[in-house]
Structure 1
Amino acid sequence: MTRIGTTRPLHLLNTSGHRGGLALFMVVVVAHWAEHLAQAAQIYIFNWPVPEALGVLGIPFPWLVTSEWMHYGYALIMLVGLLLLLPGFTGRARTWWKISLGIQVWHHFEHLLLLLQALSGLNIGGGAAPTSLVQLLIPRVELHLLYNALVFAPMVVAVLLHRRPGDTERAAMNCGCADRYEEVVDG
């Protein structure tokens, strides 16, 4: 017997709701990417000083850029989204989704470390601002672009493979995400 409130919603998300859940998740991911790309354009194309390069939403809401809570919250949403949608993937797509998930686990850890420093006031190396481990080697703006690219690239591969599965993968799928070429051709 299935318990209401535990496995049933997860089952629905990874069967009949997988296409919609995945689409919503990807909209959030792409919107986040747009913010990082806008900030990078402000810095590298328009030559804005880093403290003034706030992305699109950061211009009217500058506290968003400096809020470790907001950054941590997004990292957590990404981690949870990747975990919740994982059961709907099969075969090669599942492998690529797990790669994205593994990278996001580290990215989440780095944001947790930043949040803990912001809350405690104890920054790595006694610095003036919270610093992640890899940020000791790569500046924060570039590091966030790198992390997001490393999570996003295998995610895109996973989604493309999931939408166009091989015969064995299609037979193992419990969702309606796969493109239906036969219906389009026979139309």
Structure 2
Amino acid sequence: MTHALDLPVLRTLNTSRHRRALMLFMVVVAAHWAEHLAQAVQIYVLGMPVAEARGVLGMPLPWLVHSEWMHYGYALVMMIGLILLRPGFVGRARTWWTAALVIQVWHHFEHLLLLVQAMSGANLAGRPVPTSVLQLLLPRVELHLFYNAVVFVPMVVAMVKHNNPSPRERAEAPCACAAARS
């Protein structure tokens, strides 16, 4: 069986470039999270109707908010990033990163379901708009705040553990992320 670090690009990404790749990935994740928080502020603080609350980028580019392709693309990029950067994590950090990945796999499935509905015009449960499984229980805005939180929190915990490893974890780590902090 091939180990992930046997592939040159993954070895580089999870060793000498791991810290830089994680930083770039987290900037993308934080920007996406900020868009959802801006939309929540627009709805719950500014009192905007949900249809008009489009976050920061959605205000000048409203098609972004309504594009299932864009939402699916982000969910896919997020899942791929979690997979590609996972080999650089060990011990407790890897456990938390894996938890984020497992949750993101479900989130990705939900976006795939939404995309298929948007493309086919056949919506779940006869709804007038594409609807995810958990959206049958929670409104879309709140559901995506929840999804982003339950993926983001274990990622942050993983990053903290990754940058503050136990002596055993430091010895096993393929990257020098923790050493860079010392």
TM-score (norm 1): 0.93
Are residues 77 and 149 of structure 1, via their aligned partners in 2, closer, same or farther at CA, if it must alter by over 3 Å?
same
CA distance in 2, matches of 1:169, 1:103: 24
Unaligned runs of 5+ in 2: 1-5
Partner of 1:17: 17
Tell me if the contact between 1:164 and 1:179 (Cα under 8 Å) persists in the aligned partners.
Answer: no
* One-letter identity of the residue aligned with 2:124: I
1:45 aligns with 2:68: no
Is 1:110 matched with 2:125? no
Cα 1:180–1:71 change in 2 (3 A) is: closer
**Contact 1:68/1:118 (8 A) holds in 2:** yes
Deviation at 1:179, TM superposition (A): 4.5
Contact 1:58 1:65 in 2 (8 A): yes
Name the residue aligned to 1:73: 73
Structure 1 residue runs of 5 or longer lacking an equivalent are 1-5
CA distance in 2 between counterparts of 1:31 and 1:180 reads 24
1:150 aligns with 2:150: yes
Any runs of at least 4 consecutive aligned residues in structure 1 with deviations exceeding 2 A, and if so which? Answer: none
What's 2:138 paired with? Answer: 138
Q: Matched residue of 2:178: which SS? A: coil
Q: Which structure has the greater CA radius of gyration?
A: 1
C-alpha deviation, 1:51, in angstroms? 0.2
Between the two proteins, what is the percent identity of the paired residues? Answer: 66
CA RMSD in angstroms, aligned pairs only? 1.3
Q: Deviations over 1:109-164 (max 9, x none)?
A: 00000000000000011111000000000000000000000000000000000000
Match of 1:178, SS?
helix
- Contact kept? 1:163, 1:178, Cα under 8 Å: yes
What is the match of residue 3 of structure 1? none
Letter matched to residue 43 of structure 1: I
Partner residue in 1 for 2:124: 124
CA distance in 1, matches of 2:44, 2:164: 37
